[in-house]
């Protein structure tokens, strides 16, 4: 359809991109004031039309991500257009300004979040930022996954599983539907020193040193325990220093 919201958006976007190019050309000739003023006026009008076309397309059912694709813009630019920012000195009338959250399918987002999708994943789907999704969920009373109250485990139990069962932080995070940062924070609260990067491997240091003293080589011990030679060498040096 020639007059469909998508067609209008596509035409408005083309006008806007052309106006931007004309403005760049006009800047190359600052002495031609009339040319510069004409280009500036055209760009301002094109921005306003693009705003109106974007709002119309989203109201007609397109997501902001789809509107961005049609117009050749980023989703951030579309978000600003939906908030009413035209970038010119003549903003659109207040009645045309649409809040971003008002264009999102709330029930659908809530159901998908409860089904297991994250705020970041939903933000990617609906062409907005994850903070927008988080605020929307909060406004509609949806409990967030990953907060302290939603973890059905004590700090002490987390520490036991981390230290005794050798469960990795990401494994615990996946099991409890939390972030790795939260699990790390809870472990620190329990007095566990969480290393940066890979944590120290659980090796029988006393046994390794005893075998080394009996004449086994560093490389042979490394092969026996499935680790690198430098790892065995560090364990031997460390235990000898302690004595």
194 located within any domain: no
Quote the tokens at residue 83: 């908030």
Same domain, 152 and 232: no
User: In 3D, which of 218, 238, 240 has the Cα closest to residue 228?
Assistant: 218
Give residue 91's pLDDT: 44
* Structural domain for 123, as ranges: 104-139
The number of distinct structural domains making up the chain is: 4
Give residue 88's pLDDT: 45
What does the chain come to in residues?
243
Give residue 87's pLDDT: 47
pLDDT in tens, 79-109: 777 765 444 444 444 444 444 556 678 888 8
pLDDT in tens, 188-210: 888 887 765 555 666 788 888 88
Quote the tokens at residue 153: 């485990």
Give residue 195's pLDDT: 67
Residues of the chain with pLDDT under 50: 1-2, 85-99, 147-149
37 located within any domain: yes
Same domain, 79 and 38: yes
CA dist., res. 200 & res. 76, Å (int): 43
Same domain, 33 and 69: yes
């Amino acid at each position: 359809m020639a007059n469909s919201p998508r067609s209008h958006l596509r035409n408005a976007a083309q006008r806007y991109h052309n106006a931007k190019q004309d403005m760049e050309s006009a800047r190359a000739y600052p002495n031609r004031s009339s040319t510069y003023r004409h280009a500036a006026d055209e760009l301002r009008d094109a921005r306003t039309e693009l705003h109106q076309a974007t709002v119309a397309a989203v109201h007609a059912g397109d997501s902001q991500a789809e509107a961005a694709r049609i117009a050749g813009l980023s989703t951030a630019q579309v978000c600003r257009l939906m908030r009413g920012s035209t970038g010119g000195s003549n903003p659109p009338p207040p009645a045309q300004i649409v809040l971003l959250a008002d264009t999102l399918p709330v029930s659908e987002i809530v159901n998908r979040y409860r089904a297991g999708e994250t705020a970041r994943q939903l933000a990617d789907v609906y062409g907005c930022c994850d903070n927008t999704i988080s605020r929307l969920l909060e406004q509609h009373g949806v409990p967030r996954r990953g907060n302290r109250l939603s973890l059905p485990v004590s700090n002490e139990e987390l520490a036991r599983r981390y230290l005794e069962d050798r469960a990795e932080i990401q494994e615990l995070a996946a099991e409890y539907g939390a972030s790795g940062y939260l699990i790390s924070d809870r472990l620190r609260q329990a007095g566990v020193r969480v290393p940066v990067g890979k944590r120290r491997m659980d090796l029988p240091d006393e046994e390794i040193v005893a075998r080394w003293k009996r004449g086994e080589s560093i490389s042979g011990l490394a092969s026996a325990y499935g680790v690198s030679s430098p790892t065995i060498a560090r364990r031997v040096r460390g235990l000898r220093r302690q004595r």
